[in-house]
Every structure is written in structure tokens, then in C-alpha cells.
Amino acid sequence: MKFFFTFFVMFCFLAAPAAEIAATPAPDFGREALFSVNNLWVMIGAMLVFIMHLGFACVESGLARAKNCTNILFKNTMTPAIGFLSYAICGFAIMYPNSHWLIGHLFGFAGWGLHNPPGPAIAYNGMYTYWTDFFFQGMFAATAATIVSGAVAERIKLSSYLCFTAIYVTVVYPLVGSWGWGGGWLNTLHFHDFAGSTFVHSVGGFAALAGILLLGPRIGKYVDGKAMPLMGHNMSQATIGVFLLWFGWFGFNGASALSANPAIVSLVLVNTMLAASAALVSAMCAGKLLLGKPDLSMTLNGCLAGLVGITAGADCVSVLSAIIIGLVSGVLVTCGVLLFDKLFIDDPVGALSVHLLCGVWGTLAVGIFSPEYKLLTQLIGVAAVGSVSFGAAYGIFFALKKLFGIRVSETTELKGLDLVEHGAEAYPGFQFFSNM
């Protein structure tokens, strides 16, 4: 504008009044409004992701026995707290190193703590502020840890779980995340994971697998080579949790557009809505076929499976592809739950089937259904992220096991973690049958 004005004055008529008008332009309300609305949606999306933590707390506690309910609620309340703080201390800086790459495009670090760069907010990023960026990404970070919580439920020591969470969210999650979302080598390869089928869900799922393998199954889960049902104590709570997760997922996927761009966000939302619906239907049918009756917990896991499945490609597949991805996810999760039981891998809430299997499936589906991306690249991403996150999680759990032990004593497990670890039941006053 200024340059133009200078030129205008110099070149044309040396006219005075015109200059003044052009030199004091009206504030650009349009640009400010666009910045505000984009920023607003990312903030609201982050709040929706926040409510997913309550969703996880409800699903996991609902699918566990009453005697371990307080313990799960405690873990799932502390997980976001620890996650947010550790992400603020250095996780955010590892995940988004900007130009500060230290080892190739494998590991970078932008510095300790949070530092709002100087200059107007709008300059940080045309879409949202630095704080909004942290707010949204911090919510995501804590999600990965929460996935582990359910898989290791009913037998892990509280202290070991909290240690694991702190380390995993501080280092491992942001490290592998930086490869894709932070501009690292997977990003260079044109690997696509829109909202985190891989970077969040399978990163959580692989850690869950490592934890389960090192912990072993719960007492009484496998008797004479057969899986016994250890029923969750509260299906209402589990259902509330699944609905809250679905609700929150609209922010998880929708705000991963990192703007309020109407065309992109609304397509993402419709894909998210329909993939989950399709997965609910296919999981219901698969449950009916394989178990004889339409099982509620299987069906609920179907919903989550569809959501995990569509997360990687919600922005780049058609609505019909989203429905197919969902249908497959619903079948996959049902078979997964049965399969893991055959392998004596005791996962109380089905976290492996939901987050690991469908996280991998969703990431590969991008290579299948979107012409823009290659299946091979997607495979490379899954393998790289999987091996590092499984390896790291196994290492951390293994070290904790050697140093402090990660499993509660047999008497604690039988009595319930609530009384022994926290000195308080979840439902004082209610009468229970034994072993619940």
C-alpha cells in the first residue's frame, strides 16, 4: 500500500489529499474476523478434545470392575494434568522444532517451556495464535497416554502408570509426532495422517501392547486356556463415555484442519459422523454373528473403531469411502477382541483392537482410498512409528518393572486397587457381589 502510494504521488500529480486517505487505511476488519473465526474453531476443537478425556474415563471405568473404578478414575484424571504440564515443559518443543532440528529430520528441540514469539498474534500463523496452538496440541498429547490407561487397567501400580505417562508424553509421543506433523522426515515422504490414526491412536495402542505384555493378564482372566468374562460394572457409564468420545472427535478431527475453512471442516465432520455410524452397524452385525447376540460393549467399541479408522483420512476420502472405512473398522474391532483373547493378551477395555488395529487400518486406508497418497508410504509410516513407539514403551515399562515393579500384589488385585491404592471405594453404600 505504502509503496503504491509513494509511487502514485511521485508519478502522477503530486496530489496531497489522496495520499492521506491511502496512508491511513481503515482497520481490516475482514482479515481480523477471519483470523478470529479460525482461531476460535481451533480453540473450541481443543475443548472438544478435552472432553474426550472424560469420555475415556467413563469408558474405561465402566468396562472395569467396581473394585478398581476409583483407581481408573484417578489415573484418567491425572493423565491430562501430567500430559499438559509435561507437554508445556518440553513436549511441544520436541514435536514442533520449527527450524531447530538437531539430528537430521528425526529429532529437534525448540527450547524449554512455552514462549510466545514476539509480534502480533496474527503473525505467528495466519490461522491461530501460539497459545491456541499449544492448547490444541497439548490436548492431543494427553490423549495418547489415556489410551494406555484402559489396557493396563485393574493390575498396574498407580505410581508406575503415572511415571510411564510422564515419560511417554514428554518424549516419545512428541518425537514420533515431529516426524509427521512437526515437518520431519515422514512429512517429507508425503506420509498422510490427518488427525492422528497413527500419531495418536496407534502410538497409544503400541504402548498399550507393550504394557500388557509386560504386565500379563489379570488374575482369573484365563482359566484352563479359556478366556473368562470379567464384566465391566457399569454399561451406562461406558455408553456415556462413547458418546462423549464421539462428540469430542468432532473437534479432534474437525479442528485438525487447523482453521475453520468451511469446505474442509464440514466434509471432515460428515466423514467422521458416517464412518462411526457405519462401524456401529457392522460391529453390531459382527457381534450378532460371532457371539450370537448383539453385545453392547462390542458395539460401543465398534463406534470408537470407526472413529479411529477415519481419523487419518477424514479430509481426503469421499463420503462413500468413509462409510467403507467405518464398516471395515467395525468388523476389525470385533475380530480383534476375540483374537487377542485367543492370544492371551488381556486388554480389559479392547484398547488394542480399537486404537492399534484400527489406527493402522485407518492409516493404510488413506493409501487405498485417496488417490493423492501411496499405500507404500503409509506402510512405511506405520512401521516406523510403530517400531519406535512400541520399542520405547517396552523399554520404559521394562525399566520401571526392574526398578520398582509395575504390577500390584496378588492380594491387592483380588481386594481391588481402590481400597489398597486409594483407601476408598467408588461406590460406598452399594452392595456388591464378591469379586466386583
Report the site for a second copy in 32-61 (rule: CB under 8 A).
32-41, 43-44, 46-48, 50-51, 53-54, 57-58, 61
Q: Does 286 bind a second copy (CB under 8 A)?
A: no
Residue 407, helix vs strand vs coil: strand
Residue 201, helix vs strand vs coil: helix
Q: Which of residues 344-403 bind a second copy (CB under 8 A)?
A: none
Min dist CB 45 to a second copy, Å, is 10
Min dist CB 418 to a second copy, Å, is 9
Binder among 152, 284, 385, 408 for a second copy (CB under 8 A): 284
Binder among 173, 194, 206, 246 for a second copy (CB under 8 A): 246
Q: β-pairing, 222-223 with 226-227?
A: antiparallel
For a second copy, the closer of residues 125 and 377 by Cβ is 125
Q: Does 84 bind a second copy (CB under 8 A)?
A: yes
Q: Does 290 bind a second copy (CB under 8 A)?
A: no
For a second copy, the closer of residues 34 and 339 by Cβ is 34
Min dist CB 196 to a second copy, Å, is 19
Task: Tell me the CA distances in angstroms from 273 to 29, 266, 296, 307, one per residue in order.
Answer: 34, 10, 19, 8
- CA–chain centroid gap for 425, Å, is 29
Binder among 168, 233, 350, 392 for a second copy (CB under 8 A): 233
Q: Tell me the β-bridge partners of 227.
A: 222
Instruction: Using CB under 8 A, count the residues that bind a second copy.
Output: 134
Which candidate, 90, 98, 100, 40, places its Cα nearest to that of 258?
Answer: 40
Min dist CB 71 to a second copy, Å, is 9
Residue 178, helix vs strand vs coil: helix
Contact (Cβ atoms closer than 8 angstroms) between residue 157 and residue 405: yes
Residue at 27: amino acid letter = P
For a second copy, the closer of residues 246 and 373 by Cβ is 246
Binder among 165, 277, 301, 311 for a second copy (CB under 8 A): 277
Binder among 68, 160, 197, 239 for a second copy (CB under 8 A): 239
Binder among 297, 329, 353, 389 for a second copy (CB under 8 A): 297
Q: Tell me the β-bridge partners of 103.
A: 107
Q: Does 121 bind a second copy (CB under 8 A)?
A: yes
Residues 6+ apart with CB under 8 A from 132: 39, 42, 43, 46
Q: Does 289 bind a second copy (CB under 8 A)?
A: no
Q: CA 267 to CA 270: how far, in whole Å?
A: 5
Q: CA 325 to CA 276: how far, in whole Å?
A: 9
Which candidate, 17, 10, 2, 64, places its Cα nearest to that of 416?
Answer: 64
Stretch that binds a second copy, among 179-187, 204-212, 279-287, 402-410 (CB under 8 A): 279-287
Q: Does 119 bind a second copy (CB under 8 A)?
A: no
DSSP state of 103: E
Q: CB atoms < 10 A from the CB of 45, how many?
A: 27
Binder among 110, 257, 274, 324 for a second copy (CB under 8 A): 274
Binder among 111, 220, 262, 391 for a second copy (CB under 8 A): 262
